[in-house]
Amino acid sequence: MESFDRLSAGAAPLMRINIDTDQIIPTRFLLRTTTAGLGEALFADWRLLADGTPNPEFILNRAPWSEARIMLADSNFGCGSSREEAPRALRQAGFRAVIAPSFGEIFFGNCFRNGLLPVRLDADALKLIVTQVEASDGRAQVCVDLVAERVTAPGGETFAFSTPALLRQMLLEGLDEIDLTLGLAQRIEAFREADARRRPWAYARKAGR
Amino acid sequence: MSSMQTGRPRSFFEKVWDDHVIADLGDNTYLLQVDCLFLHEVSGGVALRELQQQGRGVASPDQVYTVNDHVVSIRPERKPGEGRNAVATAMIGETLDASRRFGLTTFPIGDPRQGIVHVISPELGLALPGVTLVCADSHTCTVGGVGSLGWGIGSSEGVHVLATQTLRQVKPRTMRIRFEGELAPGVYAKDLALHLVGRLGANGGIGYAVEFAGSTIRTLPVEGRFTLCNMATEFSARYAFVAPDELTYAYLAGREFAPRGDAWDDALRYWRTLPGDPGATFDAEFVIDASTVAPQVTWGTSPQQVAAIDAQVPDAEQFDDPGARQLLARALDYQRLRPGTRLDSIPIDVAYIGSCTNARLSDLQAAAQVLAGHKVAPGVLAICVPGSTPVKRAAEALGLDQIFRDAGFEWLESGCAMCATGGADRLADKRVISTTNRNFEGRQGPRTRTHLASPATVAASALAGHIADARRR
């Protein structure tokens, strides 16, 4: 998994509350057997017109916003489904970080597992950043620093954010969660042996036992 | 025997959590044993392929199950492995092939136990009290109805469970919601659930493990408990459950994968220690008078945008918060509704009974009671998709299918179907009243306008040709 430590990049604002996972990636794009190609389906119902051509009004279809690698969003971004294609679509479309006052809980965790950094900043901080970004017609850069846990606005103002320690470590080191867990293999085995004696019906479940 | 007697009174959730902790990882994060992993065809094949590409094997194949529900064909003559389209068929095939290679138990089309995952997991006795159960589906909390601790996970968490049979979880805060009083006639668990989402809001349960308790719950049939727990994800609860009781044990006894004989007795002894100790405390707690809840129907594009069936579409004036006003305006625009319109006058094009929320036998019985001897209104498309093949067969044994068909409903094979996109071609640009769980823009089809309600309300609406109160029939 690609690691993330610090990024200075253009930021695109999509300030609507409760953007749910069905908007981030409509379910009709989930019928696929590979995990590639999700970037084109990002926000498809907004990005595309009824005839399938790009909607010229939608911000991500216009330069320089189309090159943005940071998304600025509003409350409860990513609410709804647990589908991991939502953060993957954002990642494959080029985004490396999303900044919002709050995120759907399942989506938040899924972001870290897919190399996308979700940053929680309060609404006032976001408002300031969005204002500056829009005033520059998308040319100004926002810096997201996972090492220092700090966002720097185009105008230089800084805002601290927090991330769960383990998820932060994984994203900084590009580490796989499974590797971390398998390091505890002995404890897992010991637990399961004792647990299988206490709750045998939760193990080796075959019909009729 | 439950373990870790700390001497402090513990809630049901704390007991189940404590019994699954393998390691404390710091930062309020714990490594938990996962008793049961369910894969389905949309993400299962992908997860197994990723596992294989990582050069890893399945840690505990006996604790992993593969279902086919999300994109299966629901047409009456469907063949084994048949999806709703060619891509779906490929996903089903890939998931089943990979599952068999890894020695997992599968429930494909053609197996008499096939159905929607959150309907069949308790039906099979795989969801049991105090069991941790995960699946790549946000309605996994449904199994809380039998006191399982179930939650939705992403597909890389699924790979983690496959490789280790564990998951890292942040320990949530706890909430107890007590429902007191008797449900009024014609009011069902779905109405309680919708009312609750309306009260708490779409975010009201963030970070909480929610226990449903109280006198109403103690007498609520287990199938109703599934409905209530199912909808908890719509107010963003991470976990939701009802502590097991005699109704739970009666529901589970004799099920195919439930323990038998001495093993059942041992399990029962353990399960009876799980309900919360007197004096257990919660981070949040409140009480709802269930006797005053009326049948509910959503008007907007989020389950929290809901009201009693005899209420009116709200006006922006009623909301102080500019954010709420913005949401309201957008919802009314998408739904093509005017403020002040009585909900029970809104004409509908489609009536849909199905999904892991409300397609169990008691749901079909409630609908059939309303439908018997009547016909669906002219021009209304009415569809019933039973929650599982066993439910379908039990309904047929009772003659319910005939009631549905005589009324003018299509009676189809089991799957997730039209809860999300499964009926896109037939539901596009239509107004649908549905027993499902989400009314997001475009969920059931492009420009589809969804109203969520109980099976009885959906049945009454099908007959009337508009949203209708079943109590008035």
pLDDT digit string, tens, across residues B197-219 = 999 999 999 999 999 999 999 99
Please give the average per-residue pLDDT across B3-18, as a whole number. Answer: 85
Closest CA to B334 of B290, B301, B285: B301
In a domain, A161, yes or no: yes
Question: What does the alpha-carbon distance between residue A86 and residue A111 come to, in Å, rounded to a whole number?
Answer: 9
User: Range of A207's domain?
Assistant: 176-209
Enumerate the β-bridge partners of residue B441: none
Residues A189 and A88 occupy one common structural domain: no
Instruction: Please report the DSSP string for B294-344 in residue order.
Output: PPEEE-SSSTTSEEETTSB---GGG---HHHHHHHHHHHHHHT--TT-BGG
Residues A67 and A79 occupy one common structural domain: yes
C-alpha distance from B180 to closest chain A C-alpha (Å) = 29
Interface probe for A, chosen from B156, B272, B333, B439 (most Cβ of A below 10 Å), is B156
Contact list, A177 vs chain B (CB under 8 Å)? 156, 160, 168
Judged on CB neighbours under 10 Å (0-12, 13-18, 19+), B344 is: buried
Residues A31 and A125 occupy one common structural domain: yes
The structural domain count of chain A equals 2
- Helix residue ranges, H only, chain A: 21-24, 44-47, 85-92, 105-112, 123-135, 165-173, 177-182, 185-198
Closest CA to B211 of B12, B427, B61: B12
Query: Residue A38 carries which side chain, given as an amino acid letter?
Result: L
Residues A171 and A99 occupy one common structural domain: yes
Q: Which two tokens stand for residue A118?
A: 């979700």
Residues A169 and A180 occupy one common structural domain: no
Q: Using one digit for the tens of pLDDT, what is the confidence trace for B292-335?
A: 999 999 999 999 999 999 999 999 888 888 888 888 999 999 99
**Could you tell me if B146 and B244 are in contact, meaning their C-beta atoms sit under 8 angstroms apart?**
yes
ipTM of the modeled complex: 0.91
Please give the average per-residue pLDDT across B166-170, as a whole number. Answer: 96
Q: H/E element holding B391?
A: helix B389-397
Contact across the interface for A83 and B136, Cβ inside 8 Å: yes
User: In the CATH hierarchy, which fold is given to the domain comprising B30-171?
Assistant: Aconitase; domain 3 (3.30.499)
**Could you tell me if B2 and B15 are in contact, meaning their C-beta atoms sit under 8 angstroms apart?**
yes
Contact across the interface for B87 and A33, Cβ inside 8 Å: yes
Q: What angle do CA B202, B13, A192 make, to 5 degrees?
A: 120
In a domain, A48, yes or no: yes
Residues A142 and A86 occupy one common structural domain: yes
Enumerate the β-bridge partners of residue A11: A70
Q: Which residue of B has its CA nearest to A189?
A: B22
Q: H/E element holding B249?
A: helix B246-252
In chain B, where does the domain assigned CATH 3.30.499.10 lie? 30-171, 299-472
Instruction: Write down the mean pLDDT value for chain B.
Output: 95
Cα atoms found within 13 Å of the Cα of residue B70, Cβ hemisphere only: 26
Please give the average per-residue pLDDT across B141-155, as a whole number. Answer: 96
Contacts of B96 (CB under 8 A, 6+ apart): B41, B66, B68, B81, B106, B108
Contact list, A35 vs chain B (CB under 8 Å)? 46
Q: What angle do CA B149, B153, B157 make, to 5 degrees?
A: 115
> Residue B3's pLDDT band (boundaries 50, 70, 90)?
very low
Contact across the interface for B256 and A208, Cβ inside 8 Å: yes
Q: H/E element holding B30?
A: strand B29-33
Which pLDDT score, from 0 to 100, does residue B2 have?
A: 45
Which pLDDT score, from 0 to 100, does residue B320 have?
A: 87
Q: Using one digit for the tens of pLDDT, what is the confidence trace for B90-139?
A: 999 999 999 999 999 999 999 999 999 999 999 999 999 999 999 999 99
In a domain, A133, yes or no: yes
Distance of CA B188 to the CA centre of its chain: 15
Owner of token pair 């459950």: B241
Q: Using one digit for the tens of pLDDT, what is the confidence trace for B390-400?
A: 999 999 999 99
In a domain, A183, yes or no: yes
Q: Using one digit for the tens of pLDDT, what is the confidence trace for B346-375?
A: 999 999 999 999 999 999 999 999 999 999
Which pLDDT score, from 0 to 100, does residue B54 have?
A: 84
- The beta-carbon neighbor of A17 closest among B33, B136, B327 is B327
Contacts of A194 (CB under 8 A, 6+ apart): none
Higher pLDDT, B175 or A205: B175
Among A residues 132-191, those touching chain B with beta carbons less than 8 Å apart = 164-166, 176-178, 181-182, 184, 187-188, 191
The CATH number given to whatever domain includes residue A32 is 3.20.19.10
In a domain, A94, yes or no: yes
Rounded-to-10 torsion of CA B214, B220, B223, B228: -40
Helix axis angle, B44-53 to B86-101, nearest 10°? 50
Contact list, A81 vs chain B (CB under 8 Å)? 138, 152
Question: What does the alpha-carbon distance between residue B455 and residue A59 come to, in Å, rounded to a whole number?
Answer: 41
Interface probe for A, chosen from B96, B440, B447 (most Cβ of A below 10 Å), is B440
Which pLDDT score, from 0 to 100, does residue B93 have?
A: 97
Contact across the interface for B163 and A178, Cβ inside 8 Å: yes
Residues A165 and A206 occupy one common structural domain: no
In a domain, A1, yes or no: no
Q: Is A113 on the interface with B (CB under 8 A)?
A: yes
Q: Is A88 on the interface with B (CB under 8 A)?
A: no
Bridge-based pairing of strands B64-67 and B21-26 is unpaired
Residues A124 and A162 occupy one common structural domain: yes
DSSP A22: H
Question: What does the alpha-carbon distance between residue A150 and residue B277 come to, in Å, rounded to a whole number?
Answer: 44
**Could you tell me if B138 and A80 are in contact, meaning their C-beta atoms sit under 8 angstroms apart?**
yes
Query: Residue B230 carries which side chain, given as an amino acid letter?
Result: N
Residues A167 and A201 occupy one common structural domain: no
Query: Could you read off the pLDDT tens digit of each residue along chain A, which spans 209 residues?
Result: 788 999 999 999 999 999 999 999 988 887 665 666 788 889 999 999 989 899 999 999 999 999 999 999 999 999 988 788 899 999 999 999 999 999 998 899 889 888 899 999 999 999 999 999 999 999 999 999 999 999 999 999 999 999 998 889 889 988 778 988 998 999 999 999 999 999 998 996 665 43
In a domain, A55, yes or no: yes
pLDDT above 70: residue B149 = yes
Contact across the interface for B154 and A113, Cβ inside 8 Å: yes
Three-state secondary-structure class, residue B448: coil
Judged on CB neighbours under 10 Å (0-12, 13-18, 19+), B289 is: exposed
Q: Which residue of B has its CA nearest to A50?
A: B446
Give me the total of CB pairs closer than 8 Å, taking one residue from chain A and one from chain B: 170
Question: What does the alpha-carbon distance between residue B289 and residue B297 come to, in Å, rounded to a whole number?
Answer: 19
Residues A124 and A209 occupy one common structural domain: no
Judged on CB neighbours under 10 Å (0-12, 13-18, 19+), A79 is: buried
Instruction: Please report the DSSP string for B159-188 in residue order.
Output: HHHHHHSEEEEEPPEEEEEEEESPPPTT--
Owner of token pair 């809380």: B144
Contact list, A17 vs chain B (CB under 8 Å)? 323, 326-327
- CATH annotation of B299-472: 3.30.499.10
Question: What does the alpha-carbon distance between residue B225 and residue B212 come to, in Å, rounded to a whole number?
Answer: 9
**Could you tell me if A78 and A104 are in contact, meaning their C-beta atoms sit under 8 angstroms apart?**
yes
Give the CA distances from residue B129 to residues B19, B22, B126, B145, B243, in Å, rounded to whole numbers and listed in that order: 12, 19, 10, 9, 8
> Residue B290's pLDDT band (boundaries 50, 70, 90)?
very high
Contact list, B165 vs chain A (CB under 8 Å)? 188, 192
- The helix, strand and coil proportions of chain B, stated in percent and rounded to the nearest 5, come to 40, 20, 40
